[in-house]
Structure formats: C-alpha cells, structure tokens
Amino acid sequence: MVEQNKNVFACGYHLYSTNSRFGGFLSIVASLAKMGFDVDYLTMPTNITWLLKTTDRENLRNLLKLILGRDYLVGNSRVFNTTLTKNLPFKFSKLIFSDLFRKYLPSLRKLDKFLRKEYTFHIFESVPSSLMCLLMNPEKKCIYRPSDPLSAYMENDGETIEQLIVQRCQQVWYVNELSKNYLLNRYGSFVSNKLVSLPNPFFQLEKLKMRLSNLENAYMTLNRTSSEKLICTYVGVFPVDYELIEKVSSDNLEVTFLIIGPHKPKVRSSNVFFLKSLRQDEVEKIIQSSDIGFLPYSNRGKINELLGITKKVADFLTYGKPVVAINVADIKFPGYYVTKNAQDFSDVIKYLSRNRWYPLREDVEYYKEEFLSHTFEFFERRLTFLVKSLTN
C-alpha cells in the first residue's frame, strides 16, 4: 500500500466504469486506486465518430457524464473520470493546446487544473500521450503504457509522436513480447533501458484454476447429435474481412457463424449472424457453447503483426475451444491455428468442425505456465512493485 493523499494523473482511450469490462489500462487505473492513489483519469479522444460508435467500451450515452466528470469510489480512494471535447491532429494540437488558446477555450481550461496539480506520476495510453507530453514539465515523472504502439497504426506523424513520448517518459510498460520487440526494433536505444513488462490481466486466479482443472475432460463437453450445427464465434472490435467471412461461411454450410461486436451485417449468408456488443457474462456463455473461435481480421498493416494471444483468445482456449486466426502474428500456441490465406483459413475450420480438438495434458500445463502471469493477482503484485520502484 502507498500513503494516502497520493495523486496520479492518467490519460487513456476508454470510459471508466465499475460495471464494464476491464482491459489493461483501465485495470491499471483501478489498481492504482486500490493501492491508495486518487486518480484523475482523462478519457481521450471523444470526437463525434468515437461517440457514435456503439461498442462494448463506450457510446453516446456516456458523453454527458464524461463532460461533467464523475467520481468512483475504490476502497478509501477514488477515480475521477472526465474528458475534453476536443480532439485534433498532432500538428494542430501544438497550437490549440498552447497557453494562448487554453485561456479562451472552455473545454481546454479544464486542463489547467490538472496541469497545476501536483501528482506522484503521470501515466498515458497511446495517442493521448502525444498531446499531454507537450504540456508536461520535463521534471515530472511520466509512464507510457501503449496498448498498441502508435507507429503501428498511425500514419504520417505516428513514429515522430511516439519517439517524443519514449524520450519524454521514464518508463515504458509493454504488454507482451510482440510489443516489446516492435518498440526495440523501431526505437532502439531511445527505449531499450526504459522497457518494463506488465502483461494485461485476463483472469481471476481461482477462475483460471477452475478452467484448467476442467480442461483435461474438454472432449466430454461436446454432446451433439449429427443433425446439430457447430458454432464458430468471433468476439471483438477489430475490423473484420467481410469477403473472408462470406467465403468461409459458404465453404462450411454445416457451421453457424456468430459475429459479436460493432460490425455491420454485410454478409447475407444464411449461416452467418451478426450480434450487437454484449455484456461480458453474455459473451462468456456464448464462448462456452461455441465449438470454435475464429478471428477473421482484415489486414490493417503493421498493427496486425502485434495481434497475439488476447483475453478473448485465452477465454476460448481455457474453455477447450480451438481458435483459427488470419492476419495475426505468426506465433505457436496449443489450440491456436494461424493461417496464411482465405483458403487455408476455411480449410482449417472445416477440419476442426469434423475432428474434435481438445487440449492434451502438456497443453494444459503450457496454459498454466503462460496464463498465470495474466491473472489479476499477478498483475496487481507486479504493478505494486513497479510503482514502489518508481516512487522510491
């Protein structure tokens, strides 16, 4: 635990809520509050396109409470979540965030109270870092936590912005080896002595233990008749390849395909169903009742090279369901099938629909070794260690 009345400034993408799902950065915010820090959390960006997206993270209903700001009590501490209503490209932000403009724009004057306030340290997630690093006093402690490295998905100024961030920050908390290697290859000596591992949390420890204890009997969980269709499910917000889904579904008419997330129902196949974004408990029930997980990702460039074992992938695998992926990092993991093209993708799904996969004993041991570092308990211990080393 840390002393009370310590303050942290955090700046990230997503809405903070006590009843929504918790990804990596939101888990950091919540854990810091549990450790005794009061956290001022600025949600950015909030442009019109972002607000109108109905995802499992945030939507238009949250605009008012973000603008007004909202306190969440976490133990004896609190998280204050608010936003700015301006989001401009990096070059323009240099001007619009200057002292001259901040005095006259109401939505930016809110920044002044944060900039004048003393914080133990500041932590930034990806794009918002580019704006806030321009304003921070160089003597203030800053942490960069890239959910995805900026230069992997931002054109033009992406690499320039990120190099500014890694030079400015004392530490860079990376999520996995893919991200670490990408940052090292991109920035070398600028970042090599600042990189610190902090894996995203996927499971509560007891829930992971329970799933692993059941995995050896995973082959007994499928009790279908020959007339029942198998279910192949995608869950996520990453853009999908609709032509790929069209092909795979037409090649595998004996399989029902479920697409969960903010995706347009562009595929008209009778065995493809687009579902809206669902609550976490609803998603978990569907994963349990599915037979195969699939990731029909579209090719978005360098960002695809950083797509590895996510929480959703881990959910499928720890329920004994194989996952078929395309346009992802080429990694080896039991039950995780990386394909190179649409035909290969379709063929693997056909094979798995006819040949029940289940994890072997050595696979379960491998999951145990890999996923223990993705428990919330490990995450909080690791974060506590990093914060103590930073503040001391």
In-domain check, residue 151 = yes
- Owning domain of residue 384: 6-201+375-391
Q: What is the pLDDT of residue 166?
A: 86
Query: Tens digit of pLDDT for each residue in 52-84?
Result: 554 444 555 666 677 778 888 887 888 888 876
**Do residues 182 and 222 share a domain?**
no
Nearest-angstrom CA–CA distance, 321 and 34: 34
In-domain check, residue 33 = yes
Task: Tell me the one-letter amino acid at 96.
Answer: I
The residue among 152, 142, 148, 202 whose CA lies nearest residue 174 is 148
pTM for this predicted structure: 0.86
Cα–Cα–Cα angle for 299, 303, 308, nearest 5°? Answer: 95
Query: Tens digit of pLDDT for each residue in 277-299?
Result: 788 889 999 999 999 999 999 99
**Do residues 35 and 151 share a domain?**
yes
**Do residues 186 and 209 share a domain?**
no
Handedness of CA 199, 203, 206, 210 (dihedral sign): negative
**Do residues 226 and 98 share a domain?**
no
Number of compact structural domains in the chain: 2
Q: Where is pLDDT greater, at 48 or 152?
A: 152
Q: What is the pLDDT of residue 222?
A: 46
**Do residues 99 and 19 share a domain?**
yes
Q: Is pLDDT of 236 > 50?
A: yes
Q: What is the pLDDT of residue 226?
A: 47
Q: Where is pLDDT greater, at 183 or 279?
A: 183
Q: What is the pLDDT of residue 81?
A: 84
**Do residues 216 and 197 share a domain?**
no
**Do residues 261 and 292 share a domain?**
yes
**Do residues 366 and 383 share a domain?**
no
**Do residues 82 and 97 share a domain?**
yes
The average pLDDT across 90-111 equals 63
In-domain check, residue 38 = yes
In-domain check, residue 1 = no
In-domain check, residue 210 = yes
Residue 337 and residue 180 in contact, taking contact as beta carbons nearer than 8 Å: no
Handedness of CA 42, 45, 47, 52 (dihedral sign): negative
Tokens of 38: 């009061």
Q: Is pLDDT of 255 > 90?
A: yes
**Do residues 110 and 193 share a domain?**
yes
Query: Tens digit of pLDDT for each residue in 108-147?
Result: 666 777 877 889 999 988 766 666 766 667 678 889 998 8
Q: Poorest-confidence range of 162-166, 210-214, 334-338?
A: 162-166
- Residue 183: what are its φ and ψ, rounded to 5°? -65, -40
Q: What is the pLDDT of residue 101?
A: 65
**Do residues 69 and 163 share a domain?**
yes
In-domain check, residue 254 = yes
**Do residues 253 and 165 share a domain?**
no
Task: Please confirm whether the linkage preceding 262 is cis (ω < 30° from 0).
Answer: no
In-domain check, residue 339 = yes
Q: Where is pLDDT greater, at 207 or 112?
A: 207
Nearest-angstrom CA–CA distance, 154 and 179: 15
- Strands 230-235, 272-275: pairing is unpaired
Tokens of 204: 């509560």
Give the CATH number of the domain where residue 87 resides. Answer: 3.40.50.2000
In-domain check, residue 382 = yes
